[in-house]
Amino acid sequence: MPKKIFLLLIILLSNTLSIFSQSEKVKNTPYVDQRRIHFGFLLGAHSQDLAFSHNGYKTENGEEWYAEIPEFSPGFTVGLLADYAFTERLNLRITPNMCFGNKNVYFKEQVSGEWISQDIKSNYINMPILIKYSAKRVNNYRPYLVAGVTPSFDISKRKDTPIVLNRFDMLAEVGIGVDIYLPFFKLIPELRFGFGFLDMLKHKRTDLRDPSDLKYTNSIKDIKTRLVSLVFYFE
């Protein structure tokens, strides 16, 4: 999956370059990229998802439960931007932000068809540390690729639910964006994909009031985070 996403980003970047390659026009804020350090803020939307791995666990009654997220629920993101230019085309970007959203998980028993749902609300404090590689500026546009890691901490409170997620996560992120040079600032739309590589499932459930609910946790081997974000930077 990550390889397919990377190839898609390369194709999008190539197409963007061809679209923006046009006759020379008057450039807005022509010297803005000569500054080593840039600051700004960001607003955006995202969709949280979870990738479930099941282990085929069966209860004493022969029940076998599976979990999935059948639909995406949008959330919103707000944060800050700090950008340091190593070279003309290579930048370090740190974008602390907060993500507010939820994930609606469905559990289904394979034989009886019985099902239950759980709404997991998540409020994340994220600290993306990204490397940005930019193409050459063409008029008032400059496409780029971005990649890095994002430590994430969930500050939501929840207990005594079918599953509970661990609070700390670490994601690898890749994306594509374009600097749009306006007369007084840069507007930067960016599409980014996040892939968590830690098991987010809390396996020890001493908080459960009903021990029979442990079957939902026991049926899952691990859970990995998936995240799609559309962010707009104002720099």
Among residues 231, 234, 228, 233, the alpha carbon closest in space to that of 47 is found at 228
3-state secondary structure of 216: helix
pLDDT, average across residues 135-143? 92
Write out the residue range of the structural domain in which residue 76 sits.
48-123+158-235
Structurally, the chain folds into a number of domains equal to 1
pLDDT, average across residues 147-168? 90
Does the pLDDT value for residue 214 go beyond 70?
yes
Partnered with residue 119 across adjacent β-strands are 104
How far is C-alpha 224 from the geometric centre of its chain's CA atoms?
Answer: 12
Question: For residue 214, what is the DSSP state?
Answer: H
Question: Does residue 57 sit within a domain?
Answer: yes
Among residues 83, 76, 92, 99, the alpha carbon closest in space to that of 186 is found at 83
pLDDT at 64: 92
Question: Does residue 8 sit within a domain?
Answer: no
Range 108-116, long-range pairs (CB < 8 A, 24+ positions): 108/65, 108/66, 108/67, 108/68, 109/63, 109/64, 109/65, 110/64, 110/65, 110/66, 111/62, 111/63, 111/64, 112/63, 116/162
- pTM for the full predicted model: 0.83
Question: Does residue 197 sit within a domain?
Answer: yes
Question: Does residue 184 sit within a domain?
Answer: yes
Does the pLDDT value for residue 7 go beyond 80?
no
pLDDT at 5: 53
Question: Does residue 40 sit within a domain?
Answer: no
Question: Does residue 234 sit within a domain?
Answer: yes
* Pick from 71-80, 92-101, 173-182: least confident: 71-80
Q: CB of 118 within 8 A of CB of 73?
A: no
Question: Does residue 6 sit within a domain?
Answer: no
pLDDT, average across residues 102-131? 91
At 19-34, the pLDDT tens digits run 555 556 778 777 788 8
Question: Does residue 3 sit within a domain?
Answer: no
Does the pLDDT value for residue 188 go beyond 90?
yes
